[in-house]
Amino acid sequence: MSTASAYLTVAGVGVDVVYKDIKNLHISVYPPLGRVRVAAPETTGEDTIRLAVIQRLPWIKRQRGQLQNADRQTKREMQSGETHYVWGQRYRLDTSRISGNFRVETKGQTLWVVTPPGTDSDGKRATLERWYHRELKAALTPVLAKWEPIIGVEADKIVVRRMKTKWGTCVTHSRTIWLNPELAKKNPRCLEYIIVHELTHLHERNHGERFVALMDQFLPDWRSRRDELNGAPLADEEWVD
């Protein structure tokens, strides 16, 4: 049974540490994005764990590279019949409707992207991406209203912007939180996890023991939400929290 846990950053690699009643230290790399987990005997010191990770870095990086280059969704060509996700739900794309205006709507299991005649795939993709952006911004107000009082902090600014390697980030000196519009494709539980994660950085900048303790206090199931987010279907680029 686990007795404690921690989060370390070793040579730029985030490492979950779980202390257990075991004799030997074990390092594992999990799909889909290569999350690194160390199971360590309860009396193991942090320096020993860091050294073990550094010694296995070549192997860890090979494993992560293999995982991060596999099992991605194929590139979306914006053709009717493709699978797309909205708030964790799977939809079948239909681009057959035409109109003088650009709009996106969901009905049943269909995601309608309606565009003027002659709109190419890039224009349809841009229409959908703008809609995801609006969806995320609309979802933020109730989530922030719920969690800012609980965590006891307020962000001065929220920016929704496409990012290649992060779901979200917190610029502590300006108290600004940046969020990836790709979150609008994931289960709302994942957005809530990212909001709590980034707001907690306004208390604690690093991912050390205090940060983990605060996350455990505010959102006890944050690890399962993080794993759910990273285990969701991937786009053709990598999205690593």
| Structure confidence by residue, pLDDT tens digits, 149-190 | 999 999 999 999 988 768 899 999 999 999 999 999 999 999
Q: What percent of the chain has pLDDT over 90?
A: 65
- Band of pLDDT at residue 32, cut at 50, 70 and 90: low
Phi, psi of 207 (to 5 degrees): -95, 45
Enter the DSSP assignment of 71: S
- Residues 71 and 155: their CA atoms lie apart, in Å, by 35
pLDDT at 239: 31
Residue 78 burial (C-beta neighbours within 10 Å; 0-12, 13-18, 19+)? buried
- Contacts of residue 45, defined as CB under 8 A and 6 or more positions apart, other chains included, come to none
- Map out the domains of the chain as residue ranges: 4-68, 83-230
- Residues 58 and 65: their CA atoms lie apart, in Å, by 11
**Which fold, 83-230?**
Zincin-like (3.30.2010)
What is the pLDDT averaged over residues 72-78? 66
Q: Is the pTM of this model over 0.85?
A: no
In the predicted model, is pLDDT for residue 234 greater than 70? no
